[in-house]
Amino acid sequence: MGGYREERGARTGAVLGRVTQTLARIRRVQRALDLARRGTPLARVAVDAGYTDQAHLTREVTRFAGLPPRRLLRS
């Protein structure tokens, strides 16, 4: 039975790790959108929020919000 418990524990750890990572990504998107709402240019928002570039920021915002940043900010 020890093998089953270890496997279950490993799976639980993997799921919790993904949840933690996803929450961190959501928080980063929220921070980026807060900066953008203050009028910060998106290229600067991307750098300040820790994205590689503006394209990376756009992909993440679209992934979580369903719209690219400019369209999301207009709505």
Alpha-carbon span 26 to 74, nearest angstrom: 20
The number of domains in the chain is 1
Domain range for 18 = 2-74
Query: Does 5 score more than 70 pLDDT?
Result: no
Whole-prediction pTM value?
0.78
Alpha-carbon span 37 to 2, nearest angstrom: 52
At 49-62, the pLDDT tens digits run: 999 999 999 999 99
Alpha-carbon span 56 to 10, nearest angstrom: 31
> At 56, which CATH number?
1.10.10.60
